[in-house]
Structure 1
Amino acid sequence: MAASWRYKLNMTSLIVLRRLTTQRLIGPQFATPADAVSFFGAVQGQDLLPAMWALGLRVRDATEALIEQATFDRQLVRTWPLRNTVHFVAPADIRWMLELSAPRALKENARQRELGLDEATFAQARRIIDHALRDGQPQPRQVLRQALDDAGVSTEGQRGIHILGRLAQEGLICMGPRAGKQPTFVLIDAWIPPAKPLTRDEALAELARRYFISHGPATIQDYIWWCGLAAAEARAGLEMVKSQLAHETIGKQVYWFDPATNVGDIAPSPVAHLLPFLDEYVVAYKDRGAIAPPAYNKLVDSGNIIFHQPILIEGRMVGIWTRKLNKDSVVISTQYFRPLAADEEDALRAAGQRYGTFLGLTAEFAPPQFVDSSRSLP
């Protein structure tokens, strides 16, 4: 292990180092966006532009245009496979993943009932959307909303997106490539070729294997949170694949991970990352204490760091960032939770330049701000 690693190599820092390596934030990267998504199983993607940067961080020589082209080429699909939330998935995985997770997700979606969406409404919407997409061409969301409204199915407020999400979870539709800045939808069977089906046990095992191989070290509680399955099914999936995994017990928690993960050849310290909103490195774990102490939630206006874009130094959160796009540049604004050393500042600027290259823009940094001194750090 590189002697220049900044943090003391205790159990927490080893968890962080393994996760950085496993998630390909350091070390070898993926050759294509499709390789990255297939490896992870599902990559959170409800906000498209940050989700593309999440892939860009892990794909060699990636640009935003490269990621977007992969959606046009049908190498990536965005839909609602887990936790009633949009993710990127590989085309070969979309059907078995929906079959595994959708029944529980649909049963527990109280928000649909609050919006007055019942089975009769969904049946009518299903016929309307199927007809609107029958020619196989992607249609913008607004076109589908208008078709529903014209047929007497109101899309007022949040009803429209919940109808489309429900039909996606049923396996009728998924998101297609963007039309300008607008999302489009397509019929899954017209857009994605058939793939080998999995039995439920095969699917339980495969989802568990993908998660722990791509996100470990992680606990069963982390996995239950990420997959959204019933706890008993999540545990059954882990039981089927645990012989393929390594594990370590830290305190009272058992952490599972890929035994092939090599943390021996890491980048020189320090390593900085500008993570996007809801990156898998943050959102995929129920316990985020290895990344940021719970007290850090008090340092952000929302009260929850998960709703902000983290600045990482060697895998640990040291602040948050936002961006502003200009014609030829992206201006990165930062707010630090602690002062940065000179070499950390250099690493952060390198991370910013990488983001600019991803966008095809020059990266500029606004003067940094610091957390309100009246808030106490842990």
Structure 2
Amino acid sequence: MSPSASPRPRIDAAQRRARLGHRHRLTASVKAVTAEEVADALLGLHATDAATVHLSLRARLADPNPAALDRALYEDRTLVRMLCMRRTLFAVSTTLAPVIAGASAAPVATKERRDLTKWITEGLPDWDERRLAEVEERTLAALEVRGEATAADLAADVPELRTTLVSFPGKSYEATVAISSRILRALAAEGRIRRGRPRGGWTSSSFRWVPGTAFTDLDAPEPAEARAQLARHWLASYGPATTDDLKWWTGWTLTDTRRAAAAAGAVEVDLPESPAPGLALPDDLAPVPEPAPWAALLPALDPTAMGWKSRDWYLDPDHTRPLFDRSGNIGPTVWWNGRIIGAWAQRPDGDITWHLLTDAGQEATEAVRTEAERLREWIGGVRVTPRFRTPLERELSA
């Protein structure tokens, strides 16, 4: 740096944790009123595990009424599930859906379409793209008539959906599957169908399908502009953070990530705990007030826990092994003032149990105990088992 150059603004880990508490709606003074507010604050709720959506909302709403959450998802449809960042399923608000479609979901849908076409045409010699398209059109027509349907319902109307293919031949995980699963996944990735109400309760991942709106019909920005808008939203919610964090969260190439950050107006900042410079919005450089002390029990795959690639500023690296599975999926976590300090689980009798990996003091312990009791009362008779089990969650739930 030349003598005349201005030093980069410095934002330390404590300030990052203060922003997290405020912006992720985790401290009491900023709890949200609606599910849509939460989804926008986090840019989407991880939805690979159906229970995560409801539990993430519960932790951030002033009045987490399960009926109101169902209404947003299945009646008002102000939250929609989209396959987008990192080819992961998110529940996003209809406000942000066009931006996310242009920046992430549309490219994911293109890859899903390419993979499906190759899988079908190579595995079924009497199928070509024309036949695949014809079966899909009949499937969409059948769904339009029914209004909502399971895969089995649609296969009754379109018998070709029962056709089977071997996936991953010769591998230890080889499996024979009906082509309906991949066809419906591709149609959903394109927005032409949507996941509707589950067949079971809010923990069920077995959804009925309903007609959707193709992403090509959304008023989405052009890809470069959409990426710039998404980068700006992400930095407002998750910044300051590194270029690698943004690249990991979005699944973009490094080139697209850098261009999007530049177009978003991001400026470099020093992050003392990071060897790489951080990125922040130019109006987000001043210190923010420390929030009141807060504790939270967040579910497996919660957007906050999975929000950054580099997590040392809120997670002790020694705690990674008990809290994550081998694929990098985080389990249920206990938070205190912007740090992960432990894990929680539900026992077969419904009780909420927890274990602290860090001694954060008596105030933290009492706050966590209170949050665990609130969670137990809210869950009631429902049993929650994370889709991806982690070592400490398994131990606690036994």
TM-score range, shorter-chain basis? 0.7 to 0.9
For 1:175-190, what aligned pairs fall within 5 Å after superposition? 175-181=195-201, 182-189=206-213
Q: Does 1:320 align with 2:321?
A: no
Query: What root-mean-square deviation, in Å, do the aligned CA atoms of Structure 1 and Structure 2 show?
Result: 3.5
Q: Map Cα deviations across residues 275-308 of structure 1 (whole Å, 9 max, x no partner).
A: 1111111112111222223332333584577331
Give the AA of the match of 1:85: T
Give the AA of the match of 2:144: R
Give the AA of the match of 2:44: A
Distance 1:95 1:131, change over 3 A: farther
Structure 2 CA distance, aligned partners of 1:354 and 1:19?
22
Q: For 1:169, which of 176, 189, 202 is the aligned residue? A: 189
* 3-state SS of paired residue (2:229): helix
Give the AA of the match of 2:250: C
Structure 2 CA distance, aligned partners of 1:335 and 1:115?
47
* 3-state SS of paired residue (1:134): helix
Structure 1 CA distance, aligned partners of 2:26 and 2:38?
12
Structure 1 CA distance, aligned partners of 2:113 and 2:145?
33
User: What TM-score, normalized by structure 2, do the two folds share?
Assistant: 0.75
Distance 1:160 1:14, change over 3 A: farther
Distance 1:40 1:148, change over 3 A: farther
Contact conserved, 1:42 with 1:88, CA < 8 A, in 2? yes
Contact conserved, 1:133 with 1:139, CA < 8 A, in 2? yes
Q: Which residue of 2 aligns with 1:138?
A: 148
Distance 1:166 1:57, change over 3 A: same
User: What TM-score, normalized by structure 1, do the two folds share?
Assistant: 0.78
Distance 1:129 1:313, change over 3 A: same
Q: Which residue of 2 aligns with 1:53?
A: 55
Structure 2 CA distance, aligned partners of 1:48 and 1:150?
29
For 1:76-95, what aligned pairs fall within 5 Å after superposition? 76-95=79-98
Q: Map Cα deviations across residues 104-159 of structure 1 (whole Å, 9 max, x no partner).
A: 43565699579934573753552243122123722234434555655453375485
* 1:212 to partner: Cα distance: 1.1
* 1:208 to partner: Cα distance: 0.7
Unaligned runs of at least 5 residues, structure 1? 1-9, 364-369, 372-378
Contact conserved, 1:272 with 1:311, CA < 8 A, in 2? yes
Aligned residues: 348
Distance 1:300 1:211, change over 3 A: closer
Q: Which residue of 1 aligns with 2:3?
A: none
Structure 2 CA distance, aligned partners of 1:34 and 1:301?
28
Q: Map Cα deviations across residues 39-93 of structure 1 (whole Å, 9 max, x no partner).
A: 3332211111122111222222112322122112111111212222110112244
Contact conserved, 1:29 with 1:60, CA < 8 A, in 2? yes
Distance 1:356 1:139, change over 3 A: same
Distance 1:218 1:153, change over 3 A: farther
Q: Which residue of 2 aligns with 1:289?
A: 312
Q: Does 1:263 align with 2:288?
A: yes
Give the AA of the match of 1:15: R
Structure 1 CA distance, aligned partners of 2:179 and 2:150?
16
Q: Which residue of 2 aligns with 1:62?
A: 64
Q: Which residue of 1 aligns with 2:259?
A: 236
Q: For 2:332, which of 309, 331, 335 is the aligned residue? A: 309
Structure 1 CA distance, aligned partners of 2:33 and 2:73?
16
Q: Which residue of 1 aligns with 2:395?
A: none
Distance 1:341 1:142, change over 3 A: farther
Q: Map Cα deviations across residues 245-292 of structure 1 (whole Å, 9 max, x no partner).
A: 784443532333454587315113xx3211111111111211122222
Contact conserved, 1:356 with 1:362, CA < 8 A, in 2? no
| % identical equivalent positions | 21
Contact conserved, 2:298 with 2:332, CA < 8 A, in 1? yes
* 3-state SS of paired residue (1:74): coil
Give the AA of the match of 2:61: V
Contact conserved, 2:52 with 2:300, CA < 8 A, in 1? yes
* 3-state SS of paired residue (2:265): helix
